[in-house]
Structure 1
């Protein structure tokens, strides 16, 4: 049995029905069990008043029920909106109101709950899911992805990556993070198994490795930063995970040193690098990294365009065209008009990423045009954090910077609040008393991965020629004040 994303339904329902389909920290279910659970969930959803053409917000973490709900939505023609429990209630409420969902499904509690005060069907038909990403205006943006786009993504995993019959995929990224679909679509389209890895399991390194070994994980997809964390565990190697043979990276730049370090732990592993924003259904380019890497560029190439995609440059900016490109931002025609255009009769998206394409068609990523960053795989608009900081008591202006290691990878974020009354321009000092609980206050508005690790007060912010906050000069001021020259920079 497998899930056919072209038809959004289970196929070959009489074959391999007892093979494992999903595992979480509590249990494992077979393909027959997954089909039965999805049938039952659909009946409950219809009885609860969930209608095709409408959105359903699904909240939770890494429960089997979360996946069941997503599949049920695909089969019923309901647009699902995944929101991980890591998000504060205020953000969940904002998203629910934005999509005008009559009902929500709490996967953790396995129950349907009340939705938005004002409910309505979606204006755009044929939407599989809406994922909310960080927004530069201070509010998250809803990216609308079509059912046909998801089918194309699943076909790439099935037809291009040669992962073998019924592979087991590790799934650790949040369902509200689009890269998590790689594991899910791959496992379901190939009739394999998706091994859900909750935060609690990952937090215990030895137990995490045992869990992956016991479930026979063969394919690993994550950011390079997540693998870097695993290197702290001596058991993260081929001897303890003999079936793990494929690593797929995305959402962050991959360095040759990182690839070599991984091969030192898993000598026989295949390493695949990929790239693509949420607006282009998870990924658009890919390449298999091959030895030797002597003389390889740093960071490594993000690959060539998939069969159904076109990648090109417009004044140095990476643009993506194809049927996998989003249908626009929900309720934001202004943002949609700035980002989407037609190219050779296909929807095309301006990524905001700066890149290069060499003679072999390999794409290289060179950074951003704006203040968007990727930290531990999470896409973050610094402007959204600025807006949240500016809402704190007594704060009139705020700015955020991201500190980097020498290789360019991000380490952490530092927040600044302006205190020109007490501090001279360029001077960094202590926070005022009313901000002593700033982390708690910020956590009520933002998910934890968007909360800076430190908040400092500063005099008048330095500005550039456009009268915008000069984040590079702000970073220099911070380093001069906080970091001694003799210390190794992050």
Structure 2
């Protein structure tokens, strides 16, 4: 696939009046933006950045929840050879400060609230020389350098913004920070050919036409480039799981969506709302879950509101290599160790490194979609990246196996293993079984104590409907007692609501959960 911005220009020339992006609203119908209008917005943004002093190679932190502004900002920066930096503003304050100090950005682009945070909290202080405000200006903040809003019925005029020299495939294109579910987020670098590789790999999952429902913002950046009409619902991106489900279902139905992409938290909202309203999503051909393993209960709930022949897939990957593989719900139920996440997609190679006698080792991935380095983290890059004949190999930090049929079996994060005195437990084996117990919404295995002497504790979050707490705990304990690894779990604790990552509301923050379990076990009974 060509450079992303060149591909977008080509689509605008071929299909100028087709809808590229549908902007969901909190209430009422969404706004449709054509390919021609979207490219015009990118050109206008590129011109605004150039006039503001943003230059090739400048790193520009991008913070906006508006899908149109996000798209035109990122692609406008790419068009002039600048480097968008994507980081979650809701990260813990110290983590966010560290991320921005590592990047040392020359520019900061965002909605007014992001700029207020920047000035009040000192984000990237001493680095940012250019500030661009998207949306409405805030009096006294600084002179406004607007990134234009989407305008109906307006098509581009004049030639596209051109660089004196188009970006080279191995030029730094974008920095995306990880979610921070396993420590301070790291900035994954993408070259222009990395972005093209991610787009090509994603296209193998979602196709290259039809209507795509983008349940989280990163998909919005690639959907139109792949040729999709991309529906961007009014998701609460600071807490996706708290989004009123009507904001999701209405644009999905009104725009006759073919493919739905979202995290388990967002997909759970969709499934629950449709079941409550007895609504069947008859137009949807495929649902793809990203961000965390798709458990059987949610898969069943999704199938219940889809056509019988519709697919539900669980995709596996990471910020550094997305996507890697995908598996249908039918194949995911196959018995085996851990959780089956499917075969690698075409162009992606997965291997197991440092495997033990049981075949479990660290999953490593090679392909055109693999980030070649972490920004300003040379020691982490050296520990996780190796140049091979097939390209850069990335150690994912995930434990797993690959079976004789080439399927990857996920066993959990390496850093989340419970290291006891005479045993090592990976999280996925225990949790996948516990999550099948009636009344369990989800579970999380954590270690209490020092590594090498840790006590294995299973935390359980109860479903909204089901048996009471004593019955659920007893059922989980009975299941564990029947499993060889279950005897090592010394306590089952019910938690009122797991802490999760900001981006997906699906990845469990096990460090915080382990701290909670430690305090609970110290309380007198």
TM-score normalised by length of structure 2? 0.65
CA positional deviation for 1:313? 0.6
Structure 2 match to 1:249: 289
Structure 1 match to 2:303: 263
CA positional deviation for 1:44? 0.3
CA positional deviation for 1:29? 1.5
Give, in whole Å, the separation in 1 of the partners of 2:524 and 2:271: 29
CA positional deviation for 1:211? 2.6
Q: Does the CA-based 8 Å contact 1:60-1:85 persist in structure 2?
A: no
Structure 2 match to 1:310: 349
Structure 1 match to 2:318: 277
Q: Does the CA-based 8 Å contact 1:62-1:198 persist in structure 2?
A: no
Moved more, 349-358 or 402-411: 402-411
The question of 1:209 aligning with 2:269 is answered: no
Give, in whole Å, the separation in 2 of the partners of 1:141 and 1:361: 30
Q: Does the CA-based 8 Å contact 2:233-2:247 persist in structure 1?
A: no
Give, in whole Å, the separation in 2 of the partners of 1:322 and 1:50: 32
Give, in whole Å, the separation in 2 of the partners of 1:268 and 1:247: 12
Give, in whole Å, the separation in 2 of the partners of 1:243 and 1:66: 28
SS in structure 2 of the partner of residue 231 of structure 1: helix
Structure 2 match to 1:49: 53
Give, in whole Å, the separation in 1 of the partners of 2:22 and 2:524: 46
Deviations 1:376-408 (A, max 9, x none): xxxxxxxxxxxxxxxxxxxxxxxxx99968228
Give, in whole Å, the separation in 2 of the partners of 1:135 and 1:119: 24
CA RMSD in angstroms comes to: 4.4
Is the helix fraction higher in 1 or 2? 2
Structure 1 match to 2:73: 69
The question of 1:189 aligning with 2:232 is answered: no
Q: How does 1:22-33 map to 2 (within 5 A)?
A: 22-26=21-25, 27-33=31-37
Structure 2 match to 1:16: 15
Q: Does the CA-based 8 Å contact 2:2-2:196 persist in structure 1?
A: no
CA positional deviation for 1:57? 0.5
Q: How does 1:259-408 map to 2 (within 5 A)?
A: 259-266=299-306, 267-280=308-321, 282-290=322-330, 296-297=335-336, 300-314=339-353, 315=355, 316-371=361-416, 406-407=434-435
CA positional deviation for 1:142? 1.2
Structure 1 match to 2:520: 478
Q: Does the CA-based 8 Å contact 1:3-1:10 persist in structure 2?
A: no
Give, in whole Å, the separation in 1 of the partners of 2:71 and 2:399: 35
Q: Does the CA-based 8 Å contact 2:208-2:226 persist in structure 1?
A: no
The question of 1:139 aligning with 2:184 is answered: yes
SS in structure 1 of the partner of residue 14 of structure 2: coil
Structure 2: state its 5+ residue gaps. Answer: 26-30, 130-168, 356-360, 419-426, 450-498
Give, in whole Å, the separation in 2 of the partners of 1:194 and 1:234: 18
CA positional deviation for 1:360? 1.0
Q: Does the CA-based 8 Å contact 2:85-2:176 persist in structure 1?
A: yes
Give, in whole Å, the separation in 2 of the partners of 1:17 and 1:193: 15
Counterpart pick for 2:214 among 153, 171, 175? 171
TM-score normalised by length of structure 1? 0.69
Counterpart pick for 1:155 among 200, 205, 208? 200
Give, in whole Å, the separation in 2 of the partners of 1:345 and 1:164: 26
Q: Does the CA-based 8 Å contact 1:61-1:108 persist in structure 2?
A: no
Structure 1: state its 5+ residue gaps. Answer: 374-400, 418-442, 457-470, 484-490
Give, in whole Å, the separation in 2 of the partners of 1:245 and 1:76: 37
Counterpart pick for 2:267 among 227, 241, 251? 227
Q: How many residues align?
A: 403
Give, in whole Å, the separation in 1 of the partners of 2:333 and 2:508: 39
Q: Does the CA-based 8 Å contact 1:59-1:108 persist in structure 2?
A: no
CA positional deviation for 1:58? 0.5
